[in-house]
Structure 1
C-alpha cells in the first residue's frame, strides 16, 4: 500500500534529512539516485503550490539543508600550497550539483544573514584556536529574468545587475575579531560564454591579498570532487555496482578558498614544533526567534558541518534506502535521524558523542562485501579502531582508541595527530571528527591516489588535495588496509574528476562550467 501524501509542513520536515542529494559526498548508484530523485519530485507534487517553506521543524530555528542549499556544506580540502610551501590552502565548497546558468535564471549565490566558518584546532581539544568567518550581503536583486545587461568583463561592469559583497574576519579566543577583508565583491556565478567571455579574468580580479600574507578567493568553481559511486556503495552497503557512476561531472559549487601562512595556523605560531592542525567547516543561519545573542545581535544556529569526506552520508546508520526508511515511505532517510543531526553537532562534544562514535566504528559495508567474496580474508570486526583513529584522532603511535577491547590503535604511523605537537597538552587531547593536516609533510612530487596506503604521506587522510580520492582510501581501510592489501586490486577504479583542468596557482580550482 502506497504511503499517504505528506502534508506540506511534514514535507519540509522530511526534506530536512535529504541534504546529501545535493552533496558531493553522495555516491549512490544509478538506481538509488533515480529513486531519490523521483521520490523528491513526488513529494513536491504532493505538497502542491503554496507549501510553507519558511521553516523546517527541528530543535534549531533554521531551514533544513535541503531547503537551504546555500549553506549546504559539501567538501573540505587542506594542503600545503605547491607554489608557496610556507602557506596552506584551505577550500570549502557549498551548493553541490549546481548546474550552469545562462544569465537568465537566478544566480547561484551565498546566503545572507548567515555565517560561514572555517575552524582550526591546533591543540586537539575539539575547539578552534582560530576561525575564519565569511558573511555576505546582496547588492542588487536576485531577479528571475536576468542578472546581466550585457557582457561582463570585470567585477565593476555595469552589466552585472547582481553582486554579492563579503567580509572576512579572523577570530581567536579572547581577542577582538580582526577584519581581513571588508565588503569585497565575490566572483559571480558564471553566466555562459556570451555573458562572461573571460571568467578567468573575473576570478583573478576576485582573488585578493590578505594582510600579513596569503590570499582569498570567494566565488564559483567547477566541483573538484573525484568520485565513483561504486566505491561509495561498497563502503556504505557492501554492494558492488556494475558500472561507473559519477553524478558530479559538469556541475559547479560555490567556494571559499583561503591561502594563509602556516604560522597563522600552528600552535604558538610555530609550525616546526607544532605542525598538525585539525580543520572543519560549519555554516550557521540567523535564528528566526526574537531573542538576541550575548552581544546584543542576532543568534545563530549551526545547520551544516563538514570535516572528513562522506562521514555523514556513508556512515550514518539511518541514511538512504534502509529497510526502515522504505517501510515508512521515506526512502531518502529517516526523519530526524543521525544523518540529520550530524550537521548540528559541536566538534567539542565529539569525544562523548556515542552516536558519532558508533557511526565511525560500526560499519555495515565491509561485512556485506566480504559475504560476496567468501574466499578472501574477512575485514576487521566491529568496533573499528582503525576507522576511529583515521577520522577521530589522526594517525600517531601516541594516540589511544577507547573503543572495543584495550586502548591501543592498530595504525602506529606518526602522520597527522595533534598529539604530535610539542607544545600541546596531551592530557587535554579529545577525539573529534576533523580533517587533519601535518603541515611539515613535503609536497609530493608524484601524488598517489591511495595516499599513505600507497607510500604517499601527503595524501588523504593527511589533509586532502584536489586530486585525492578519499573515498578510495576509506574503502580500502574499511576492508583491512594497511594490515592486509588483499582487497586492493578490487578497487582499481578509474575515478573521474572534473572534466576541466585544475589551475597551477591559487585557488587551483577549475573555472566553473558555463553554458552558451
Structure 2
C-alpha cells in the first residue's frame, strides 16, 4: 500500500492559542501551475514566497523577501530561455498593521532590449538567432557578448498599490533607477563562472524614507521548492517504504523539481523600515498583473507582437504556500488568483470544511487514517489566517491569507526543517525560510497536529494528528546558501566545456 506517513515522534509544543475568527482562507504548500488560467501565462505565475529574518552573519536586523516566478524551467530551454514579461507588473506587498491591506508595495517592471547583433555573411549583414553572440565569455553586467539585455525598475508605493505615494528605488552606488538582470544559466561555455557572474547583479539599494540601504537581486535560481509532485497529484501515490510506518519515509520519495529553475525577485530590507510603530508582525504576499486588453499584431516584423492596454488586472497571487493548489476548489482557483486578502471571506468553506483531510481519509482509511472532526477548523484559521497568538499574530488582526512574520523572533542558530511544530519558533508558519519543509508541516497540521497540542481544538478531534505525514521529498537548510540571495546557483543548460 502507498504510504503518506512515518512513525510519529514527540514534537515541541506550539506556544499560545489561536483566535477563532473565520473570515478567510488557509494554505497547504507552494504554487506551480495551480490554476487553469495561469497555466496560459507562465511568465507571471508565482511559485513561492519566502519571508524571514535574515540569517546571514551580521544581517539579523534585516528581513529577506523572495518571490519566485515562472515555474518548471528546464535549464536547456533555449534559444529564448526565461525572461520576465515586459508587459506585466510584479509586486510584493507588506501589511504592517494587521488589517489585511497593503501598506507598502514594491513594484517591478521589466524591459528586454534586442541588441540586434549581426554577422557579415557573404556581402550581407544578417541578425543572429541567439541571445549570445560568442564574442567572449560572459562575465560582466551588460556584457558585450550578450545579444539581449534585460533590465528592470522598482517603485515603492506607500498605501494603496494603485493610488498611494510612489517613489523609485535607486542604486545606493550612483543613484541609477534601472538595474540589470543576468542572463539565465545557458551553459559553462557561454558563462564559465555563473555564480560569480550572477553575484555582480546583487546591488545595494536606497529605500525611500529609510536611512539604511538594503539589497536586491533579480535573476534565475535553482528552484528551492522540494516536492514529490507527480506522485502527490496521482492521488498521493507515494511509494511505500520498507514498512507502512517507517521513520525513513521522509526520505523515501523523490523531488520532481530537482532539475528545475525559477526566476527569483529578492529584497533584503531593514526591519525598522518595514514595521509600523510597536507592531512587530508584518504580513506579505506577491501578485502579478497584466493589462486588461491585448491586441495581437498580425504582422509584427521587427515590432511588438502585441499591444497591451487598459487597467491592470491581477492574475496571480501567492502568500502562504500551495493554497490554490490543494485548498481552493477547482471552480474558484482563477478567482483566488484575482482576489485580495480583504476579500477572502468568499473562500471560507474551503477553510472551515477543508477537503484535503477528507481525501487523505478516503485514500488511506484502510490504514486507520481519519480526518479531524472539529468543524469549523479553527486550528487552521489560527495557523494560516490570523497568525498564532504569542507567535506571529498582529495585535489588531483581520483574518486574511498571507505569510506573517514576527520580526522580533531571534534567528535560529540551527534551523529545524519543521519550523514551529519542530520547536523552532523562527520557522514556518512564523514566516517561511527556504529550508522549511512546508509540505510535511502542512500535511501534519491539516491532519490535526495542532489539535494534539490543544490549539484551536482538542486531541480527540484529530485521530491521526500525531502521525508524521510526509511526501517523502526531504528538505532542510543544508539545501541553501547562508548568505543573500540564499537560493542556489541555477542548473546550467549545458555542463560541458
Superposition TM-score tier, normalisation by shorter sequence: 0.7 to 0.9
Deviation at 1:216, TM superposition (A): 0.3
| Aligned residue number for residue 410 of structure 1 | none
| Aligned residue number for residue 489 of structure 2 | 511
Among 352, 374, 392, which residue is 1:361 paired with? 352
Matches within 5 A, 1:379-458: 379-396=372-389, 414-419=390-395, 426=396, 429-458=397-426
Deviation at 1:383, TM superposition (A): 2.8
| Aligned residue number for residue 86 of structure 1 | 61
Determine if the alignment matches structure 1 residue 178 to structure 2 residue 164. Answer: no
| Aligned residue number for residue 310 of structure 1 | 322
Among 338, 344, 365, which residue is 2:338 paired with? 344
Among 267, 279, 288, which residue is 2:284 paired with? 279
| Aligned residue number for residue 205 of structure 2 | 210
CA distance in 2 between partners of 1:449 and 1:231 (Å): 22
CA distance in 1 between partners of 2:157 and 2:87 (Å): 18
8 A contact 1:27–1:228 mirrored in 2: no
1:4-27 deviations in whole A, cap 9, x for unaligned?
A: xxxxxxxxxxxxxxxxxxx96359
8 A contact 1:239–1:365 mirrored in 2: no
CA distance in 2 between partners of 1:231 and 1:361 (Å): 27
CA distance in 1 between partners of 2:213 and 2:104 (Å): 16
> Match of 2:285, SS?
strand
Deviation at 1:488, TM superposition (A): 4.3
Q: Residues 179 and 497 (structure 1 numbering): CA distance in 2 closer, same or farther, change over 3 Å?
A: same
| Structure 1 unmatched ranges of 5 or more | 1-22, 29-35, 37-55, 57-63, 291-296, 319-336, 397-413, 420-425
Q: Residues 415 and 498 (structure 1 numbering): CA distance in 2 closer, same or farther, change over 3 Å?
A: closer
8 A contact 1:232–1:471 mirrored in 2: no
> Match of 1:418, SS?
coil
State how many pairs are aligned.
402
Deviation at 1:468, TM superposition (A): 0.6
CA distance in 2 between partners of 1:74 and 1:200 (Å): 23
Deviation at 1:483, TM superposition (A): 2.7
> Match of 2:337, SS?
helix
> Match of 1:359, SS?
helix
Deviation at 1:155, TM superposition (A): 1.8
8 A contact 1:134–1:166 mirrored in 2: yes
Choose between structure 1 and 2 for higher RCO, CA contacts under 8 A separated by at least 6 residues.
2
Determine if the alignment matches structure 1 residue 198 to structure 2 residue 193. Answer: yes
CA distance in 2 between partners of 1:456 and 1:200 (Å): 31
CA distance in 2 between partners of 1:500 and 1:106 (Å): 32
8 A contact 2:72–2:261 mirrored in 1: yes
| Aligned residue number for residue 468 of structure 1 | 436
Deviation at 1:475, TM superposition (A): 0.8
1:125-171 deviations in whole A, cap 9, x for unaligned?
A: 11111001111111116999311112211122111111211001111
Deviation at 1:111, TM superposition (A): 0.8
Deviation at 1:377, TM superposition (A): 6.3
CA distance in 2 between partners of 1:233 and 1:65 (Å): 18
Among 32, 48, 52, which residue is 1:75 paired with? 48
8 A contact 2:158–2:165 mirrored in 1: yes
Determine if the alignment matches structure 1 residue 65 to structure 2 residue 77. Answer: no
1:58-77 deviations in whole A, cap 9, x for unaligned?
A: xxxxxx42221110111000
8 A contact 2:32–2:46 mirrored in 1: no
8 A contact 1:81–1:87 mirrored in 2: yes
| Aligned residue number for residue 132 of structure 1 | 106
CA distance in 1 between partners of 2:70 and 2:476 (Å): 16
1:435-478 deviations in whole A, cap 9, x for unaligned?
A: 00111111112211221112111111110001011121111111
8 A contact 2:32–2:72 mirrored in 1: no
TM-score by length of 1: 0.72
8 A contact 1:231–1:472 mirrored in 2: no
Deviation at 1:176, TM superposition (A): 3.0
| Aligned residue number for residue 93 of structure 2 | 119
| Aligned residue number for residue 266 of structure 2 | 257
1:385-409 deviations in whole A, cap 9, x for unaligned?
A: 111222211111xxxxxxxxxxxxx
**Structural RMSD (CA):** 3.0
8 A contact 1:302–1:344 mirrored in 2: yes
Determine if the alignment matches structure 1 residue 145 to structure 2 residue 129. Answer: yes
CA distance in 2 between partners of 1:263 and 1:239 (Å): 46
> Match of 1:511, SS?
coil
Deviation at 1:504, TM superposition (A): 2.0
Greater strand share, structure number: 2
| Aligned residue number for residue 480 of structure 1 | 448
8 A contact 2:404–2:431 mirrored in 1: yes
| Aligned residue number for residue 158 of structure 1 | 144
| Aligned residue number for residue 321 of structure 1 | none
CA distance in 2 between partners of 1:239 and 1:65 (Å): 26
8 A contact 2:49–2:65 mirrored in 1: yes
Greater helix share, structure number: 1
Q: Residues 289 and 198 (structure 1 numbering): CA distance in 2 closer, same or farther, change over 3 Å?
A: closer
CA distance in 2 between partners of 1:415 and 1:500 (Å): 25
CA distance in 1 between partners of 2:86 and 2:438 (Å): 31
CA distance in 2 between partners of 1:228 and 1:289 (Å): 37
| Aligned residue number for residue 98 of structure 1 | 73
